[in-house]
Amino acid sequence: MAEALFINGCGISTALGQGVEQNLLNLPQASKFLTSLDVGLSDDTLRVPYYMVAEPGRDAGPDRLRTIIDSVVSDAISEAGLSSEQVVRLGVFVGSTSFDVFGSEEFIRCADKITDDVISSSLTTFGCLASYIKQSLGIKGPEYTFNTACTASANALMYAVDMLRAGEIEHALVVGLEFSNDVTTLGFHALELISQHGMRPFDSHRDGLYLGEGCGAIVISRHKTAENQFSFVSGANIGDTYSITSTEPEGATIAEVIDLAVKQAGINPSDIQAVKAHGTASLSNDEAESAGLRRYFGSAIPPVQVYKPMIGHTLGACGINELILFCHSIERGISAPYCEASQFESDLGIQLLTDLSGRQQGYYLLNYFGFGGNNTALVIANTL
């Protein structure tokens, strides 16, 4: 069995609020926090539904991202109880798809005239936010920034664990971050992936997703430094080349990546208590994910939890954001199906998780899939 690593501290900021408590409190009434983002086009203004971090809002300027990151990272480190010497030696692992594109767009919007020079000058490096985190906290440890679409922060976590197990670092700070920007908004609009009628993963009436902003951070270590009861057990990744925008539809790759993660954990499929599904509510990806779950679990698919209807699809950040919400929901026994069981009609053989009581101890599977054919599965354990 793989050596378990301890999730000692968490911080999160989503549309539901700042901190784990606010997020859990607002999960059942998440739809109240859905707003929209307006993007000007030549012939119209496009209004796109969006779960956005409220404070600081988009009008706070280019420092907004750093303000949000600071508070989330501070929460995670504080909860983990790390000393200042331990903070200096942290390894930093960041996952995102858009990094500081928000800042680039602010730079362009503020220009007197938008020229090719202005646009080109606006571009920043992928590593700029990891560098910022290290500089602001005086961290001297290694940094890794992952850009593998919607699996980015899940992959960041997986390799952070490898570095911990290899003894190269003592503690890792893993950060997922995704902030609203016109490129992502218009890109998903152009791909016709934005829902018009409400986000309903695995439901027969699903028609796409809502985008979401979010930043999540965890401190993970080889030793328990805080009272959190969750540990990371194993993870696996497979790239498939079926399509650059969707996962192989028969579910073979998804079943394979789940199988790898579960085998590495040294457990059996029947040990999985529940699944945190990727659940984008797009026609093809929900089909592929449910096909993968059926292939792997047969007729005994564990109940499925999804978080994207409540916080939006936070893309590269969803690896950490959804892990934090899942762990704390299990710990508190908070079931948060996005709709009543009577309103859920699935043609995909999926059963939503509606009752967490009695399920707390054991193993849980988390799925993440992204553009570029990137597929990641993680196994975590609740040791009580």
Partner 1 sequence: MNIYSSSTFYQPISDHLPDLKGDIKAQFGKNIRRIDRFIQLSMLGAGRCIGDIALPEKTGLYMTSVNGSLSNAFSVLREIYVDKQPPMPLSFVNTVSNAACFYVAKQFGIQANNMFVTRDHFGLESALKLGWLDLMNERVEMALVGAVAQCAEPLAVHRKRLKVANDADMGEGSHWYLMAKSLDGCDPVAILHGLNEYIALDDLVTKLPSNLDGIALGFGVPVEAEQLLSAKAMQVKRWHPELAYYEFTTGYAVTELLSQPQFKGKRWCHIDANPSGQYSVVDIERC
Q: Which stretch binds partner 1 (CB under 8 A): 136-144, 212-220, 326-334, 342-350?
A: 136-144
- Tell which residue, 33, 144, 45, has the closest CA to residue 95: 144
Is 122 one of the binding residues for partner 1 (CB under 8 A)?
A: yes
CB under 8 Å to 270, separation ≥6 — which residues? 300
Nearer to partner 1 among residue 18 and residue 247 (C-beta): 247
The helix-helix angle for 64-80 and 128-137 (nearest 10°) equals 50
Query: Under the criterion CB under 8 A, does residue 384 sit at the interface with partner 1?
Result: no
Confirm if 65 and 129 have CB atoms less than 8 A apart: yes
The least distance separating partner 1 from the CB of residue 285, rounded to whole angstroms, comes to 14
Number of Cβ atoms within 10 Å of the Cβ of 168: 12
CB of 90 to partner 1, least distance (A): 11
- 8 close to 219: Cβ distance less than 8 angstroms: yes
Position among 26, 67, 86, 147 found at the interface with partner 1 (CB under 8 A): 147
Contacts of 168 (CB under 8 A, 6+ apart): 91, 142
Taking CB under 8 A as the rule, does residue 240 contact partner 1? yes
Sole window of 28-36, 145-153, 222-230, 323-331 interacting with partner 1 (rule: CB under 8 A): 145-153
The residue behind tokens 């409220």 is 54
- The residue among 218, 166, 224 whose CA lies nearest residue 5 is 224
Q: How far is the CB of 147 from partner 1 (least distance, A)?
A: 4
Residue numbers 70-109 binding partner 1 by CB under 8 A: 97, 104-105, 108-109
d(CA 273, CA 327) in angstroms, rounded, equals 13
Classify residue 195 by its DSSP letter: -
DSSP state of 191: T
**Closer by beta carbon to partner 1, 33 or else 210:** 210
User: Residues binding partner 1: what is the number (CB under 8 A)?
Assistant: 59
> Of residues 244, 299, 340, 357, which one binds partner 1 by CB under 8 A?
244
236 touching partner 1, by CB under 8 A: yes
**Minimal CA–CA distance to 290: which of 204, 207, 166, 195?**
204
Q: Which stretch binds partner 1 (CB under 8 A): 38-46, 67-75, 272-280, 330-338?
A: 38-46
Question: If binding is defined by CB under 8 A, does position 239 make contact with partner 1?
Answer: yes
Burial of 13 (0-12, 13-18, 19+ CB in 10 A): buried
Smallest distance from partner 1 to CB 315, Å: 9
Q: Does 110 bind partner 1 (CB under 8 A)?
A: no
The 3 state secondary structure assigned to 91-126 is EEEEECCCCCHHHHHHHHHCCCCCCHHHHHHHCCCC
Q: Are 248 and 357 in contact (CB under 8 A)?
A: no
Task: Considering only the stretches 12-20, 138-146, 337-345, 355-363, report the one whose residues sit in contact with partner 1 under the rule CB under 8 A.
Answer: 138-146
Contact with partner 1 (CB under 8 A) among 112, 166, 227, 358: 166
Q: Which is nearer to partner 1, 108 or 334 (CB)?
A: 108
- Candidate ranges 8-16, 62-70, 154-162, 208-216; the one touching partner 1 (CB under 8 A): 154-162
CA distance 162 to 230: 17
* Total number of residues shown for the chain: 384
CB of 163 to partner 1, least distance (A): 7
Cα 172 to the chain's mean position, in Å?
Answer: 17
Query: Could you list the residues that contact partner 1 (CB under 8 A)?
Result: 39-42, 46, 97, 104-105, 108-109, 114, 116-117, 119-123, 125-128, 130-131, 140-149, 155, 159, 162-163, 166, 182-183, 186-187, 189-191, 236-241, 244-245, 370-374
